Chain A
Amino acid sequence: MKTAVFKIWRGNATGGEFREYTTGVSEGMVVLDAVNHIQATQANDLAYRWNCKAGKCGSCSAEVNGMPKLMCMTRLSDLPLEKPVTVQPMKAFPLIKDLLTDVSWNFRVKKKIKKFKPRPPDAPDGTWRMQQEDIDRVQEFRKCIECFLCQDVCHVLRDHGMHEKFIGPRFLIHVAALEMHPLDTENRVEELRNAYGIGYCNITKCCTKVCPESIHITDNGIIPLKERVVDDFYDPLGWIWRRLKKKSDRQNVEELKR
């Protein structure tokens, strides 16, 4: 059987080192298979997260050969196995143990974001009407599996540690999904500018590059939000796009009544 060497970070907040493990390689294997196998046979106490092993839960984030990746979706056949494969924890979050980081900050950030507030139902039975083309964009953002790889790679968080001032790309598209939701009536523009710190993003697009769900975080999410913040600032009476949105919703309701 072919084998490969994995250099896995072992340690905790006080220090650690890379340790080498050799394991067999079979067709179709992903990094998580190798790490699971190492855990089961050589290092029972090796700490990391995983749940679904199908790229759906966003638990198994780590840096593989320096690249932020889901371990369960990274095929060994796409890595140069003649060299050891390095696996280390995400850097933007405090280390707990081995590959496991403390991502609780993300959960606290989300709690601060104003929740969804729908307009009154469109139809007498308490339901709404939305056209598919009006929700395509929101559905794109809602594909997010909260792997936090984009947060890990964003230099504002990773290198500058601005966790208190900037919510990061994951939560900017969360806000975008809410703001562009056809039913939502809340306004989060003031927070975007201040508490959420959208100004810290200088559109390097690193987040978009690592997103395993291929969400166009910057082009479709952050840039339109930035425009909205600017427009709202100079045009306090309101934002044209939002007015248009309201209008198309009204049309829907009119149609319903007919």
Chain B
Amino acid sequence: MPEYETFQHDVLIIGSGGAGLRAAIEASAAGVSVGMVCKCLLGKAHTVMAEGGIAAALANVDDRDNWKVHFADTMRGGQYVNNWRMAELHAKEAPARVRELEAWGAVFDRTRDGRILQRNFGGHKYPRLAHVGDRTGLEMIRTLQDHGIHQGIDVYMETCIVTLLKDGDRVVGALGYDRERGHFKIFQAKAVVLATGGIGKAYKITSNSWDCTGDGHSLAYHAGATLIDMEYVQFHPTGMVWPPSVAGMLVTEGVRGEGGILTNADGKRFMFDFIPDNYKTQTADNEEEGWRYTQGDKNARRPPELLTRDHVARCIVREIKEGRGTPHGGVYLDISWIRKRLSNAEEHIKRKLPSMHHQFKALGDIDITKEPMEVGPTTHYIMGGVRVDADTQMSGVPGLFAAGECAAGINGANRLGGNSLSDLLVFGKRAGEFAAKFAKENSYGKIDNDQVDRYTREALKPFENSHGENPYSVQRDLQEVMQHNVGIVRDESEMQSALDHSKTFWERAAQVGVTGNRDFNPGWHTALDLRNLLTVAEAITHAALERKESRGAQFRDDYPEKDERFAKVNTVIRKAEDGSMEVRLEPLPEMPDYLKQVIEENR
């Protein structure tokens, strides 16, 4: 019988990105003991990579902005399948959450009158993104980290949670291992918050960091929670395509917000040709007006480059497919053209987009102030995730909460840029608050040692099989299949074939072997992550098959139009009694009249 070290906290937070940190701060402020575990070091979670900004209707740059406009923009961007209550809370509370960051030491770029500056982003009617150059995520995570370390939160860095522990229906803790020594640890908790981020590593081309393997999605699913909207994977329109080693690396939408344009190999600015009907009234129909918009002219409408991501990504794919792509299979994104309009263009670009300038110079030998970039879509974000109660962020499993990218609802079929960072703050806070409340109202549950033993034995199996398959090969093959079969453009037969592959992937995953010992052994860690990657890959595929229409981020070649039958339903995934994955369509919560009216007013 192995010995486990056990730690006890009222609230256990899994993940130290924006959502996890914000939840931890709130829970500890409520006076409960808080433990936070993360796979990485503190301050290095994926949130650190965010570039463009945090969306909040502060109305510092355009005083016509308010929560109603932000709400309507979010719902329109999400094709109205968002959870209306989450979208409402998000729009209402984001400004206070951003101001709070300033009170904790964040230093945002300023307007001329000394307030927080806001920039344009796709799908947002007014300049709305509070930012720091193009390193907003760093500013946010550092602010939360530096504030959080003085709050008495116990942080377990480089510790990976492998399963949630239950007592009856309720979640009562989690089992993990520390990466450094490979020792298993039991975290007993009255409430658990999942804040594990995204799933980008299920795909080959992604902007996501190493640790985005969908752990929270998978942990919740196996613990009996439901997942919704998993078909909605956001492919960001602009990732780097060259050189190959950086393919997928993000090029922030901020480039287009500052006036960057998309052109094809013929030099044509193609986005003007494809403006969807529901955006026609808000979109410029000539280059001159588009330029004026990016320069802050309040009477101008936004250029078509700033349409929603799903749409821009598909337009780019079409250009490439129809033979108008660049030599390396992308399209051009050009900010250098603004030299024709601004005398100090070079300085301006460097000041507004310093990381992009550096990234292209250092990794691609391109000076973006002088020449265009080559870009193409990259897997970026998942709208789907754990279904939670909008107000409390609790999942269907008592004691289990989720916030940030691993939770679902706010974004519907497509997320607007900037709405993730604000989501992390708004719902991270709520998750922390209500997890603390739950912890105060409940006692510790019982840890089932058999459950723990079973899992650890399972987890150590790859060591007995040192001649088994290399876990990296399974991971790579899975990424290939997802990229090709469940990517931007989908159809029934390709996805069916992905599901067939899935069976073999599970078998291969069960047979992988690792060499070496348990001390910081990435091969072993990769072997353990496979279960999560496979679970989310399957969930995405099932949901995408079930939704026989195209909407937002989901585009089906075999059902290229929107279909009314799917306009008011979520795809819902849960683990059936027999362990199989069950998919269903369930009606969306009905939106109350006062919000319908808000949407009407902002048509």
Contact = CB atoms under 8 A, between A and B. Distances in A.
A45 interface: yes
Interface string A225-258: 0000000000000000000000000001000000
A211 to B, nearest CB: 13
A30 interface: yes
A37 to B, nearest CB: 10
B546 interface: no
Contacts of A21: none
A121 B244 CA distance: 49
Contacts of B40: 49, 51, 57, 59
Interface string A42-73: 00111101111111111100000000000001
Given A26-B244, A115-B150, A97 B44 contact: no
B48 A28 contact: no
A143 B209 contact: no
Contact of B44 (A26, A29, A41, A59): A59
A28 B522 contact: no
A5 interface: no
Given A39-B522, A45-B522, A130 B41 contact: no
Contacts of B476: 40
Given A59-B44, A115-B147, A96 B520 contact: yes
A58 B245 contact: no
Given A73-B362, A75-B363, A143-B135, A45 B146 contact: no
B147 A75 contact: no
B246 interface: yes
Interface stretch (A103-111, A152-160, A197-205): A103-111
Contact of A56 (B102, B355, B362): B355
B515 A130 contact: no
Contacts of A54: 49, 246, 249-250, 359
Nearest to A178: B105
B209 A51 contact: yes
Given A33-B245, A110-B149, A100 B520 contact: yes
A135 interface: yes
B180 interface: yes
Contacts of A111: 149-150
B61 interface: no
Given A59-B41, A116-B104, A118-B103, A45 B521 contact: yes
A210 interface: no
A28 B242 contact: yes
A47 B520 contact: yes
Nearest to B142: A142
Nearest to A133: B110
A143 B42 CA distance: 16
A75 B211 CA distance: 23
Contact of B363 (A30, A103, A127): A30
B132 interface: yes
B330 to A, nearest CB: 14
Nearest to A39: B522
A248 B172 CA distance: 54
19 contacts: A12-B519, A26-B243, A26-B245, A44-B472, A44-B521, A51-B44, A51-B211, A53-B210, A54-B359, A57-B40, A57-B49, A57-B209, A96-B180, A96-B519, A107-B157, A111-B150, A132-B110, A139-B107, A142-B107
Given A29-B243, A103-B41, 19 more contacts: A26-B244, A30-B363, A44-B523, A44-B526, A45-B522, A51-B211, A53-B246, A53-B249, A54-B49, A56-B49, A59-B40, A59-B41, A73-B363, A96-B180, A96-B519, A107-B149, A126-B99, A128-B102, A139-B107
Interface of B: 40-46, 48-49, 99, 102-105, 107, 109-110, 113-116, 132-133, 135, 137-139, 142, 146-147, 149-150, 157, 180, 209-211, 242-246, 249-250, 355, 358-359, 362-364, 470-472, 476, 514-517, 519-524, 526
